[in-house]
Amino acid sequence: MWLSLSDTSSSLPSDTDVLVIGGGVIGCALAYYLAREGVTVTLLERSELNREASGTNAGSFHLQIAIHQLTGLEVDSLAHRLLPEIRLYVQGSRLWQNLERELNGSLEMHVTGGLMVAETDKELSLLHSKQRIEHDAGLETHVLEGEELRAFAPFLTPNLKGATYCPTEGHANPLLAAPLYALRAAQAGAAIRTGAEVRTIDLEQQDGFVVRTSRGSVKARRIVNAAGAWTNDIAAMLGLRHPVRREGLHVNVTEPRERILTPLVQHIGRRLTLKQSANDTFIIGGGWPARAVGDDGRYRTVWASAAGNVTIAARIVPALANVRLLRTWSGPLAFTDDLEPLVGPSRQLPGYFTCMATTGFTLGPLMAQLLAETLAHPTGKSAVPDNFAPDRAAAAMAAARS
């Protein structure tokens, strides 16, 4: 299943067509799709593959419109923004459903459906409005209330006002996806190198870049910044800045218990995602904050966050009340100010691209696939929506000034 250390620690190629910076799920997927298209690609990761957001996340496929995509308890005015986003999630979910076959290996895929719960009348009304947008975007969801919900999901507290059910939501094991992509990428010809920290990037006089790392230099015709929470650190090496911020988030895991929970459970008004994993533990997350240690993207767990997160989980699924929490951890999340992915070519710097998404476990493989198509067929129409461009904030400011 894994690439060997002798592969990832061998010397760096002296030059490459595309150089991908970052060995999370997005960088590894990109290396795979590029190599499959016959593009010469090198991926550089400063530590080991899958150690940051891609290996510490909760593994949920988020398809329904969620609390972080909303600005308040009203969605109709956001329909123009949400419709294309949800269509993309539908496309991303189709990609995931074929991924085990495509990569010929297990990702512990569980497409078990997902429930997004509402505890108040306002939240229930939000479920109804968001469901209309999901329906228009081609995402199947159903609002369940009263006896219908209690019969469908007897493990939920009877105090809920309702829930939307989405049959295509679910989860996979985040410890498997990036490493399997990396293995298949290397088998298709990609050079995957770890322990290679990118330190400086210089523009070549004619064309391309010279990338200096802790293990030597590589000349690259094109660069993709797939450094997740460190996207801006890489951009700064080229004098650029993107609308990306980072935050530390928590995930918690309990002891295993008898299986009671098949679907993924989320909350429309509170930070909660909850699932029972393949080995019967409960994984509880939803975006509770961790504390920054310095300013380099390292985060410490916070007891108040773990406690707040599990309190909501036990309120929604009462059987959790006497289940012991075993471990809590944190990971670095990158997000854009407008919550749209940051994917595509830079208009300011030809040859430079970014590939970053906030719900990047769900959407990252699709973003990587679309960007790989664009890189492999540069004369064709870009497969990535224009509004994901990395310098869209600078372009919007320039347009506002003129």
Among 4, 47, 104, 106, binds ligand FAD (CB under 6 A): 47
Using the rule CB under 6 A, give the single segment among 17-25, 102-110, 254-262, 344-352 that binds ligand FAD. 17-25
**Nearest-angstrom CA–CA distance, 218 and 276:** 44
The alpha carbon of 55 is separated from its chain's Cα centroid by a whole number of angstroms, namely 11
**Nearest-angstrom CA–CA distance, 26 and 174:** 12
**26 lies in the binding site for ligand FAD (CB under 6 A):** yes
Residue 232-251 contact track with ligand FAD, rule CB under 6 A, x = bound: --x--------------x-x
Among 359, 369, 375, 390, binds ligand FAD (CB under 6 A): 359
**229 lies in the binding site for ligand FAD (CB under 6 A):** yes
Using the rule CB under 6 A, give the single segment among 32-40, 41-49, 93-101, 125-133 that binds ligand FAD. 41-49
Residues 158-197 that bind ligand FAD (CB under 6 A): 197
Among 3, 20, 31, 58, binds ligand FAD (CB under 6 A): 58
Using the rule CB under 6 A, give the single segment among 126-134, 148-156, 359-367, 373-381 that binds ligand FAD. 359-367
**Nearest-angstrom CA–CA distance, 248 and 46:** 20
Picking from 110, 115, 229, the residue whose alpha carbon sits closest to that of residue 174 is 110
Shortest distance (Å) from residue 189 CB to ligand FAD: 21
| Cα angle: 358, vertex 364, 367; to 5 degrees | 110
- Residue number, 45 or 119, with CB nearest to ligand FAD: 45
In total, the chain counts a number of residues equal to 402
Q: Which structure tokens are listed for 212?
A: 């200096």
| Cα angle: 14, vertex 15, 18; to 5 degrees | 140
**Nearest-angstrom CA–CA distance, 17 and 27:** 15
**Nearest-angstrom CA–CA distance, 7 and 234:** 25
- Residue number, 62 or 270, with CB nearest to ligand FAD: 62
Q: Exposure string (b/e) for 3-36, b if CB count within 10 Å is 16 or more?
A: beeeebeeebbeebebbbbbbbbbbbbbbbbbbb
Amino acid symbol at 351:
G
**92 lies in the binding site for ligand FAD (CB under 6 A):** no
Shortest distance (Å) from residue 359 CB to ligand FAD: 4
Residues 95-154 that bind ligand FAD (CB under 6 A): none
Residue 244-283 contact track with ligand FAD, rule CB under 6 A, x = bound: -----x-x---------------------x----------
**What DSSP string runs through 143-155?**
EE-HHHHHHH-TT
**360 lies in the binding site for ligand FAD (CB under 6 A):** yes
- Residue number, 57 or 69, with CB nearest to ligand FAD: 57
Cβ-based neighbour number of residue 385 at 10 Å: 15
Residues that bind ligand FAD (CB under 6 A): 21-27, 44-47, 51-54, 56-60, 62, 197-198, 226-230, 234, 249, 251, 273, 285, 331-333, 356-362, 364
